[in-house]
Amino acid sequence: MGEDRRREVGLFRYTLIRDAADLALSKRERGRLVRALAERDHVGPDGRLVRVARGTLDEWIRAYRRGGFDALVPQPRVVLPQTPADVLELAFSLKRERPDRTAAQVRKIMLTANAGEQPVLGLRTLQTHLARAGLNVRGDGRAPGKVYGRFEASVRNELWTGDGLHGPILAGAAARRAVLLAFIDDHSRLLVGWRWGTGEDVFRLEAALRAGLMARGVPEQILVDRGSAFVSSQLLRACAVLGVKLIHASPRAATTKGKIERFFRTVRDQFLVEIDDDVELVELNRLFSAWLEVVYHRRVHSETRSTPLARFDSAGAPALPTPALLREAFRWSVERTVTKTATVSLHGNSYDVDAALVGRKVELVFDPFDLTRIEVRYQHRPMGVAVPLVIGRHTHPQAQRELPPPLTSTGIDYLKLLADKRDAELGGHPIDYSSLANDGDGDGDGDGDGDGDGDGEDRDTNQQGDGQ
């Protein structure tokens, strides 16, 4: 099965179980959805009608929760060529004789000993057979440490890596800990998108990602871990709309995200060490923006021998997504079956739709912060806007706007000096972060001229620091 075919199968599985995999559903609600899916035919990847057993659907849901979309994609079969038993036995004997011998050393001995009289395994094949035989251990009985190649994206926006970092305790009675959600460009080490907030959920993740897309363009790939926000169907949909390949790192494989982990260490050592607990969220975002643009982005990186900003900008201005594309990417969607009275329900609300859709399964596309306007689509075709009948909830149950308190005056310290310097570079007109924060849905980014009008974003400043 080719790569394209395997992705088609994975997408088919995902479209079947995405609603049932919603963590907000109760066990009873999920069971009802799965039973309904198992009782009807579906158009498979090859165009034929297929019926999927309930047990298979449950297995796909568990796989998706563990590994996201990639876990739904069938894995290619690995077929090892037949290896003569005497060749394998010789390799095993050499390894048992001296457990400290590496696979490369065993292979070298075999090449020297047989002088071409017998076939010799390739190094990777030999390593595989030694591992299957339980012989990939050192002399002290421990398995060898994993060796990772040194990787760097060849151009900017080839790969972004996203992750979260826990920071100081915020001001307020709740004493919540701030969380930084951030994306770094692998080639330049530029922090392309970020947001300090009060949680690690899909809303704050989308706010950080959206800011980066608006200022730095669209990457080819995004690498993230398997945290709940990073495996959400909403993030998967956003990447699909933007044409971005979403990759989830293997469990406990922190080395695949080495660059952002190294950046977080720099944040701890150089920024958070200057921050006390009981800081206001808006102030934290303002100070971080100043440190990022005045210090980190303008300091020569030890590996690239260039500043992150200069290396990113060396290729010229990146192509930015259109506002319409961004709006579509960050809408949410769910499937609903139209009732006999030509209505659909969404989180307790009721809407009237086209009577021609009665009995059909439709896609509802919406802004999670505004459930009064719902677009209806059938088989990817627009079918108008649903008419609200009963509106008991105006926002998605998980949607929460963070409204930070107004800034309070504090004493002068190192980070404030950086903030003042950054304001001076912007023409002496500091950005009004408080007004940006009140926007709440991630659209209120600065437009690059420091006037905070919410139409765009300064390419150096990159962030709005609005406390979302």
Q: What's the mean pLDDT in 121-127? A: 81
Q: What is the pLDDT of residue 137?
A: 64
DSSP string, 316-351: -SPPPPPHHHHHHHT-EEEEEEPPTTSEEEETTEEE
Tokens of 91: 């390799």
* Residue 374 parent element (H or E): strand 370-378
Residue among 47, 53, 147, 139 nearest 101 (CA): 139
Question: How far apart, in whole angstroms, are the C-alpha atoms of residue 136 and residue 116?
Answer: 25
> In whole angstroms, what is the distance from residue 176 CA to residue 304 CA?
37
Q: What's residue 331's pLDDT?
A: 93
Reported as a single tens digit per residue, the pLDDT across 370-395 is 999 999 999 888 999 999 999 998 98
- Window from 227-236, 310-319, 418-427 with minimum mean pLDDT: 418-427
Whole-angstrom distance, CA of residue 253 vs CA of residue 262: 14
DSSP state of 187: T
The pLDDT value recorded for residue 179 is: 95
Instruction: Give Rg (Cα) of the chain.
Output: 27
CA 77 to chain centre: 27
Token pair of 272 as six digits? 């958070």
CB 287 within 8 A of CB 296: no
| Greatest alpha-carbon span in the chain | 84
422 exposed, middle or buried (CB, 10 Å; 0-12, 13-18, 19+)? buried
- 249-286 core/surface letters (b: 16 or more CB in 10 A; e: else): beeeeeebbebbeebbeebeeebbeebeeebbbbbbbb
The DSSP-derived string for 236-300 is HHHHHHHTPEEEEPPTT-GGGGHHHHHHHHHIIIIIGGG--SSB-HHHHHHHHHHHHHHTGGGSP
Cβ(311)–Cβ(451) below 8 Å: no
* Most confidently modeled range among 199-213, 407-421, 425-439: 199-213
358, burial (CB in 10 Å: exposed 0-12, middle 13-18, buried 19+) = middle
Handedness of CA 223, 229, 235, 236 (dihedral sign): positive
Pull the structure tokens for residue 426.
């912007």
Highest mean pLDDT among 143-147, 167-171, 449-453, 454-458: 167-171
Question: What's the token pair of residue 2?
Answer: 């080719």
Which pLDDT value is given to residue 70? Answer: 79
Q: Residue 291: CB partners within 8 Å, gap ≥ 6?
A: 270, 271, 415, 418
Q: 3-state secondary structure string, 7-47?
A: HHHHHHHHHHHCCCCCCCCCHHHHHHHHHHHHCCCEECCCC
Alpha helices in 115-158 (DSSP H): 123-132
Which tokens is 377 given?
Answer: 């689509």
Is the model's pLDDT at 424 over the cut of 80? no
54-87, pLDDT tens digit by residue?
999 999 999 888 888 778 888 776 555 567 778 8
Contacts of 403 (CB under 8 A, 6+ apart): 437, 438, 440
Task: Give the model's pLDDT for residue 321.
Answer: 94
Are the CB atoms for 249 and 223 separated by under 8 Å?
A: yes
Q: β-pairing, 361-367 with 42-43?
A: unpaired
Beta carbons within 8 Å of 152's beta carbon, 6+ residues apart = 186, 187
Q: Return the pLDDT at 460.
A: 43
DSSP state of 371: E
pLDDT at position 304: 86
The string of pLDDT tens digits covering residues 253-266 is 555 678 999 999 99
Using a CB cutoff of 8 Å and minimum separation of 24, what contacts does 302-310 make?
303/189, 304/188, 304/189, 306/188, 308/185, 308/188, 308/189, 308/190, 308/191, 309/188, 309/190, 309/460
Q: What is the pLDDT of residue 310?
A: 94
pLDDT value for 147: 45
- Give me the residues paired with residue 444 across strands: none
Higher confidence at residue 431 or residue 282?
282
d(CA 235, CA 216): 18
Q: Alpha-carbon distance 71 to 61, whole Å?
A: 10
> What tokens were used for 16?
């079947």
- In the DSSP assignment, the letter for residue 453 is -
